[in-house]
Structure 1
Amino acid sequence: MLTYCTNIHPADSWHQVARAVWPRVLQVKGRVKPIGPFPVGLRLSARAARGITPWAAAQFGEQCRLDGCFIPCLNGFPYGSFHGERVKESAYLPDWRSRKRVEYTADLIRLLRLWLPEKMTGSISTVPIGFRKEITRADLPAVRENLLRVLEMLEESAAAGKKIILALEPEPGCLLETAADLVCFLEELKLPEQLRPLLGICYDCCHAAVLFQDPRLDFSRLKEAGIPVAKIQLSSAVRITKNHLQAAGIFDEPRYLHQTTIKRGAGTFGYPDLGAALRSLPTLGEGGLKEEWRIHFHLPIFDDGNDSYGTTNAFIAEVLSCRPPQALLEIETYSYQVLPGHIRPASLIDSISREFSWLRPYL
């Protein structure tokens, strides 16, 4: 199943989702021309999820059906505004130490239970616990308690016939950066056995590529650990090689966090944001100019780069060749609005539909 995430469309309130985002979803559907109902990866802020009344939620579910769409998953990662002037580290807050994160996720569970088609497993993607520098071992009991509260809600939902997986989304700079980190974390967490199938991963191709991960090894580790791959998010990262580092500056913008990893020989080292990596250039020496840089900046997956920069869309092709068959595929290129002007497609709807077209040969 292939969808796209509506976090590419700015919307903070339920009114904005219903009046501004949904018409764009239908435009995308019209361009993609799916065979059968069109799956939509819906992003709702905490404000939108709390603000929708039971009547409005039921009406929206019926409108989805009439429009030939359905909701298999919700994006519950960013709690607040995701298209403000500066998002950066605030995208992870409140994190899993906070009851606010529990309440937000509970609202999403309530809605997805209503909208999820019968006999379909749904998912809610969420932050990978929190930003690494903010979390200490002393926080882990509260994290475990909060996760358990949500998983118990999901157990109740599954018993009522609506199975939903909470999908942690590893990201550079967070407590869980990789699939391997998630495996180790869940081993330490020691969840009750009956709840383990309800906690899975949202495998983000851009995040994994930035960290030079091996998707075959990642999926093998997850399978061995019994961790479900609920969703795979599809977008490319930026690749900068050799003497093109000056081009990296065009991706240094103030809204989102652009974690950067430099590969030198057999090792890698990372920076919390692209600006920090660029400021380090004088201290890197000749080696820093010759090795590969990967930058967390979600590029349209059809973008092959140019003479100045490359992309990691080959990593997406590798992921698709070894993906678990049950995983939902979701295009997620939320950074369209901050793409450098000379490489940003003129039409958002055209850009999304071209991403669907790029993927078809791999499906």
Structure 2
Amino acid sequence: MNPAPAVQHLAYSTLVHPGDTWEEMRDSLMTYAPLVKARVSPDEPYAVSLRLSAESARTLTDDPGERERLRAWLDDNDMYVYTVNAFPYGPFKGRVVMEQVYEPDWSGPDRVRYTCQVADILAEVTPSHVSPSIQTSPLAFRPKVVTAADRARLTENVLAVVAHLVDLERRTGRRIKLALEPEPACFLETTEETVAWFREDVWSSSGTDTLCRLTGLPVSEVVGLARRHLGIVFDICHQSVQFEDIAASLRLLTEAGVPVFKLQAAAALRVPDVTASAVETLEAFTDTIYLSQTTERRDGRLTRFLTLADAIAAWRADPSGGPREWRTHFHVPIFLDDLGGLSTTQPGITAALEVHACTPLSDHLEIETYTWDVLPAHLKNGDIVDYVSRELEWIRAESERLVTRR
């Protein structure tokens, strides 16, 4: 049996760098990307995952010269963009973010306008051999989706962007893909919920009617176009926090026909046995500006907390009740499996790569450990270039090992 082809596009997420404005993102890109390329891809074209905030998207939309300068710089440095992180709309670095990261969500026009701007930028700055993907939020923070009308509004706005992507391909010949990223505490949270939304909302008769209305095309056309332009980012960290069997979740998506437009290699913080000593060690991870959704498994039941601090407070109030395991949405370096008394969900990455080695899931692979700024000091060996380069080297070695093993 011939081995599966290697992943075509692989990068680390520039969400790890300052990039709330285009000036910040441009400076981060031009400072760090050449250094990483020199280490991991000195003689081959280097893929870039670009973070674009709404402010950055507006800047590039309004300034054709800046788009041309970006494209020229990428060409001159043997780099190309293949994916954009358009999940955080506003500021993401240097201040408390928490659940505000989902705002504005897919219930209103701001998210639609921003995502369409990103698509238009990608159609212009990416090479013709790439079908770029846009990573976006999982519709909304779960407590905000209360009624059927809320759900319908979210779906309609996503389909409005799909209609824009259909028209963009018709006009430019460039296929852009929108990829929603399920995440704990959001409307799209588990893999089963995500499949259900595609089946019941996007591919249903109501979803098809909506896309027909938005595109002016017949049913025979829009059914295929929905799958051509709308799929998901499968973040292994997020689904590991849900205690999902990663291989089974990927098989479910494949069997259901939900496109995985980007496979995101990320590891979560794992506490196999919550003890007083483990909780003391965990305190170092509570000083974070990001949400740290935590899931507890005890006696086969799952209990979800919005933050790690909430989970610790609940444990301190009642530490009895038998053994329990915690998994926390705190991205940790994927090349580590031991965090000094704590563990990680790194095996979930290997499980996903094993599935991918048998049946390629996506030609977009990305590492998204954006938490360098809030990692405890003992986990920082070297600088940010060392850190992301080691992650890229680890994923390449693990992928090659699994392909060779077959």
Q: TM-score, normalised by structure 2?
A: 0.86
Aligned to 2:87: 77
Structure 2's unaligned 5+ residue stretches are: 1-8, 209-222, 400-406
Whether the 8 Å CA contact 1:251–1:340 is kept in 2: the answer is: yes
The reply to whether residue 246 of structure 1 matches residue 280 of structure 2 is: yes
1:61-102 deviation digits (Å, cap 9, x = unpaired): 121111100011100100001103200001100000011000
Aligned to 1:195: 225
Residues of 1 paired with 2:128 and 2:262: CA distance? 18
1:161-188 deviation digits (Å, cap 9, x = unpaired): 2111110100000001122211101122
Aligned to 1:331: 367
Runs of 4+ in structure 1 off by over 4 angstroms are none
Aligned to 1:204: 235
Aligned to 1:308: 341
1:280 counterpart SS class? helix
Task: Identify which of 156, 159, 162 aligns with 2:174.
Answer: 162
1:304-356 deviation digits (Å, cap 9, x = unpaired): 22442111111111111113523411011111110011222330110011111
Residues of 2 paired with 1:92 and 1:306: CA distance? 29
Residues of 2 paired with 1:43 and 1:345: CA distance? 25
Residues of 2 paired with 1:97 and 1:34: CA distance? 44
1:281-306 deviation digits (Å, cap 9, x = unpaired): 13444336x22111110111112224
Of residues 34-43 and 66-75 in structure 1, the stretch that sits farther from structure 2 once superposed is: 34-43
Task: Identify which of 282, 289, 293 aligns with 2:316.
Answer: 282
Computing the radius of gyration over CA atoms, which structure comes out larger, 1 or 2?
Answer: 2
Task: Identify which of 142, 146, 150 aligns with 2:153.
Answer: 142
Shift of 1:135: 1.6
Shift of 1:263: 1.1
Residues of 2 paired with 1:14 and 1:94: CA distance? 19
Aligned to 1:298: 331
- Aligned-pair Cα RMSD in Å: 1.5
Structure 1's unaligned 5+ residue stretches are: none
Residues of 2 paired with 1:40 and 1:86: CA distance? 27
Whether the 8 Å CA contact 1:215–1:322 is kept in 2: the answer is: no
Residues of 1 paired with 2:180 and 2:43: CA distance? 30
Distance 1:20 1:282, change over 3 A: closer
Shift of 1:276: 0.7
Aligned to 1:348: 384
Whether the 8 Å CA contact 2:250–2:352 is kept in 1: the answer is: no
Residues of 2 paired with 1:313 and 1:25: CA distance? 25
The reply to whether residue 234 of structure 1 matches residue 288 of structure 2 is: no
1:287 counterpart SS class? coil
Aligned to 2:220: none
1:286 counterpart SS class? coil
Residues of 2 paired with 1:306 and 1:95: CA distance? 34
Whether the 8 Å CA contact 1:196–1:227 is kept in 2: the answer is: no
Residues of 1 paired with 2:136 and 2:15: CA distance? 13
Aligned to 2:250: 219
Whether the 8 Å CA contact 1:263–1:291 is kept in 2: the answer is: yes
Aligned to 1:15: 23
2:320 counterpart SS class? helix
1:42 counterpart SS class? strand
Q: TM-score, normalised by structure 1?
A: 0.96
2:378 counterpart SS class? coil
Whether the 8 Å CA contact 1:119–1:162 is kept in 2: the answer is: no
Give the fraction of aligned pairs with identical amino acids, expressed as a percent: 36
Task: Identify which of 195, 203, 206 aligns with 1:183.
Answer: 195
Whether the 8 Å CA contact 2:198–2:258 is kept in 1: the answer is: no
Shift of 1:199: 0.9
Residues of 1 paired with 2:155 and 2:328: CA distance? 31
Whether the 8 Å CA contact 1:229–1:327 is kept in 2: the answer is: no
Residues of 1 paired with 2:261 and 2:43: CA distance? 23
Aligned to 2:163: 152
Residues of 1 paired with 2:112 and 2:396: CA distance? 37
- State how 1:73-112 maps to structure 2 within 5 Å: 73-112=83-122
